[in-house]
Amino acid sequence: MKDFFTRLFQGRYGSYGTDLLTRFLLVEAFICLLLSVIAPPLGFLYYVALVILIYCYFRLFSKNITKRYKENERYLSIRKKVIGFFKCRKG
């Protein structure tokens, strides 16, 4: 089974493991799913979570490694700004 996945991800962005953007998106999808179950009026969040999960799989199976890497770098720069903003407000 391990060989199957090794061949499947060969030459794809997912062969390098998950990056922080993918992990963030997976957490967001989980939160959306949880909210859609807990609060039925927010049932549309199920579809939002589904779209996020599809995008995660798209990123993992993408052969355009440089573009996915740039997406992750853009996310990291935004994340750094947000964290820096809240650190400045704290102190």
Supply the pLDDT for residue 16.
74
Supply the pLDDT for residue 79.
95
In angstroms, the CA 20 to CA 29 distance is: 14
Per-residue tokens: 30: 């989980």
How much is the average pLDDT of 4-21? 82
In terms of pLDDT, which residue wins out, 86 or 55? 55
Mean of the per-residue pLDDT values of the chain? 90
